Amino acid sequence: MWVEKYRPKSTSEMVGNEEARMVVGLWLREWRPGKKSMLLVGPPGTGKTTMVTLLAKESGTNMIELNASDVRTKERLEARIGEATMTVSLFGERSLIFLDEVDGLLGRADYGGVEFIKDAVKVTQNPVIMAANDPDADEIKKLASSCITVRFKPPPPREVEMYLRRIAQEEGLVRTADEFRNFVARSGGDLRHAINLMQSGGGADGAGSKDVSSTVSQSLNAFFDAGDAASALSALRALSLSPAEKLRELRTCIVKAELQPDGLAAALEVLSRADIIMGEIGVTREWRLLRYLDTLLAQELFPILRGKRLRYVSEDLPFPVLLRIWNDSKKIREISVRYAQRSWTSGASARTQDLPFLFELCNEKAFRERLERVLDLDETYDKFLQKEAGR
Amino acid sequence: MKILVGGWFTLPRLGRDDFLLLMRQGVKYDKAMGFKMDSETDLESAVRTIRSATREEVELTVRCLVCGKEACEGCPYSALCDRRKVSSMCLCADHSPEKGVYGLYVKALSGTIVS
């Protein structure tokens, strides 16, 4: 897989979050006991763990890593890192302590883990870096007040294209500017997804692709053709996509295949259940449970699709359509955020419960204008609201 | 109002509450230089605060990692790119991806993270 082949080997080879990387590097260089610890926040896949691992390697620092969602109680945390925070080597060398996914730990305040970490970072003799996915969790906000918080974000689209072009050049792959932009737009800012898209596209017409052993299409076809659930599980595990992307690709293949209504309903039911479980994992921040998603799909979805001769079909929307979808979803998000602030509701409730009715009412010009005034929307939203009202 | 992420900018006099809110959102302040937003800033919240305090639309731009120039002008991805949600540096038109600038990109960062 190209995502593995082109995995960065040093911090300077990573893409995006340049300033954040410099801040973390400088912090580690200058860290002395008494200085604040570091908290990295950002969505999964933005390079927090990779950055810390490479940083420790490059600076020759011994790293003690702990996934906080696997060790929750104060006693276990104390046993694993208590001593490490308080001791340095015989020659005065310090170790870097890395607590990954601390939001998984903070969800269980009753276990005392949070208090332990808060106290430990105040007196630690070694630098401590923590990583969390959700910056808005209350406990993370509390923890952030005693740390330096650095935000990791997806790289800008232009940098994603730069990295794709670099890979294309190394692989001898010829792609047009529009094709590169299409990969970038479809990836939604996820570099790994963009690379997978380019690899599966490169493999489809064979244009210069050398490493097609386990592209998205091949992994999914291997899943559909598997002889038993164990082989289906291996095929899914070889698929280097995020769980949400896996579900999306599977849904596209299932919907586009000519399945009998019963089979289609059963398959979509499994996907729906998997989606609900993913949502619950997000809410409870039990990220480690994501690893069982492949098992669920292999055990429940595979028997339904077995022998149905499904093939991989890409979700191939033309670039202008993708652009329109992207722009519209940005507008809906913005409207729902502003509406939620005004109405003391959550953004999600605003989007799912209130906006559909508001859009209906936007057929009336007077209402539309009032809504635009109240939510402070500029003229670009007027056309959008008219279009939504006419749906 | 156009704000370059990573650069200093000035704001009209803010109320105490808005100023404190911006500080909590990770905006830096220096009496001589003004305000600055960087990788420690919660850009989405800070932009919202500035917009409501000044009643002006805020447009964020980012700088080019290779040459330091403003990077967003003429960018083909401007419709796709929400600059509050992507990292704070990019590439300008002079160092656009089609010019094969990955080597320059890595060179610009070498030695700045680990030295």
Query: Is the Cβ of A165 closer than 8 Å to some Cβ of chain B?
Result: yes
pLDDT above 70: residue B46: yes
pLDDT band with cut points at 50, 70 and 90 for residue A65: confident
Domain boundary among B60, B76, B97: B60
Q: Which of B77, B100, B110 sits opposite A158 (nearest CB)?
A: B77
Q: Which of A70-84, A207-221, A272-286 has the highest mean pLDDT?
A: A272-286
pLDDT band with cut points at 50, 70 and 90 for residue A26: very high
pLDDT at A38: 93
Q: Which of A24, A31, A159, A373 to mutate to test the interface with B (most CBs of B within 10 A)?
A: A159
CA distances from B80 to A278, A334, A378, B52, B69 (A): 27, 14, 18, 24, 21
Has residue B102 been placed in a domain? yes
Query: Is the Cβ of B87 closer than 8 Å to some Cβ of chain A?
Result: yes
Give the C-alpha separation, A248 to A9, whole Å: 30
pLDDT at B9: 94
Q: Which of B39, B51, B61, B110 to mutate to test the interface with A (most CBs of A within 10 A)?
A: B39
Both B76 and B27 in a single domain? Answer: no
pLDDT at A211: 36
- Cβ neighbours, 10 Å, residue B96: 20
List of chain B residues whose C-beta atoms are within 8 Å of the C-beta of residue A330: 82
Containing H/E element for A56? helix A48-58
- The candidate with the shortest Cα–Cα distance to B65, out of A10, A17, A153, A51, is A17
Give the C-alpha separation, B62 to A156, whole Å: 10
pLDDT at A316: 60
Residue B25 tokens, joined: 């959102």
Both B41 and B78 in a single domain? Answer: no
pLDDT above 70: residue A45: yes
Both B34 and B77 in a single domain? Answer: no
Both B86 and B41 in a single domain? Answer: no
pLDDT at A142: 73
Q: HSE on the CB side for A266, CA within 13 Å?
A: 12
Both B56 and B30 in a single domain? Answer: yes
Has residue B115 been placed in a domain? no
Both B6 and B46 in a single domain? Answer: yes
| Mean pLDDT taken over chain A | 82
- Between A325 and A67, whose confidence is greater? A67
- Between A66 and A107, whose confidence is greater? A66
pLDDT band with cut points at 50, 70 and 90 for residue B64: very high
- Could you tell me if A137 and A282 are in contact, meaning their C-beta atoms sit under 8 angstroms apart? no
Both B74 and B89 in a single domain? Answer: yes
The rounded percent of chain A whose pLDDT value lies above 90 is 19
B18 exposed, middle or buried (CB, 10 Å; 0-12, 13-18, 19+)? Answer: middle
Mean of the pLDDT values across residues A165-180?
Answer: 88
Mean of the pLDDT values across residues A208-218?
Answer: 51
**The total number of structural domains that make up chain B:** 2
pLDDT band with cut points at 50, 70 and 90 for residue A303: very high
- Could you tell me if B87 and A17 are in contact, meaning their C-beta atoms sit under 8 angstroms apart? yes
Measured between CA atoms, how close is B32 to chain A, in angstroms? 23
List of chain B residues whose C-beta atoms are within 8 Å of the C-beta of residue A153: 85-88
Both B24 and B72 in a single domain? Answer: no
pLDDT band with cut points at 50, 70 and 90 for residue A207: very low
Both B45 and B77 in a single domain? Answer: no
Q: What is the span of the domain harbouring residue B53? A: 2-60
Query: Is the Cβ of A329 closer than 8 Å to some Cβ of chain B?
Result: no
Of the listed ranges A31-40, A203-212, A239-248, B14-23, the one predicted with least confidence: A203-212
Domain boundary among B41, B60, B79: B60
CB contact under 8 A, B42 and A163: no
List, for residues A128-151, the tens digit of each pLDDT value: 999 988 777 777 777 777 889 999
- The candidate with the shortest Cα–Cα distance to A337, out of A74, A136, A94, is A136
Residue B23 CB contacts under 8 Å (≥ 6 apart), including other chains: B29
Both B56 and B71 in a single domain? Answer: no
Both B69 and B55 in a single domain? Answer: no
